[in-house]
Amino acid sequence: MFFSLAAVEVGEHLYWNIAGLTVHGQVLLVTWLVIAIILTITVLGTLKLEQVPKGLQNFVEAVFEYVSGIAKDQIGEYEYRPWVPFVGTLFLFIFVANWLGALVPWKLIKLSARIRADACSRWCQTACINVSKRHT
């Protein structure tokens, strides 16, 4: 009658073994995609800074002001400045990851298990070789 919810699995999950660690592949891919999106918008928005912002610079400054306001309200007017990068990073990562999870139909994007395993294996071998070369 009762069953363990931990045993319930919906759909096929992508797991990779990287350097002896088991990693959920879809989470890893989405994490890197979120980082790439945030970095791209930030770099493109701050390439040519102007006194009167327009375009992407205006968007980046508005986001910065919003996050600064949140930190100022929660932490206090005199102590908030050192915390803005940390609070901003957490806020942007969670915000973009949630929107990416809601808007992108991840169930429609499929990779064959063999391609995924081969790519992961090649990446892991290269990463492990590079790490071992640095430490010798």
pLDDT score at 21: 85
The domain limits of the chain are 23-110
- ∠ CA 83-100-127, nearest 5°, is 75
Residues 6+ apart with CB under 8 A from 70: 87, 91
Of residues 100, 103, 112, 65, the one with CA closest to residue 84: 65
For residue 99, the SS3 value is: helix
Predicted confidence pLDDT, tens digits, the chain (136 residues): 566 666 655 666 778 788 888 888 778 888 999 999 999 999 999 998 899 988 999 999 999 999 999 999 999 999 999 999 999 999 999 999 999 888 877 666 665 555 455 555 565 555 555 444 444 4
DSSP reduced 3-state for 47: coil
Look at residue 68 in the predicted model and tell me its pLDDT.
Answer: 94
The amino acid that residue 116 corresponds to is: R
Residue 107 main-chain phi, psi, to 5 deg: -70, -25
Distance CA 109, CA 135 (A): 38
Q: Which residues contact 50 (CB under 8 A, 6 or more apart)?
A: 57
Report the predicted TM-score, pTM, of the whole model to 2 decimal places.
0.68
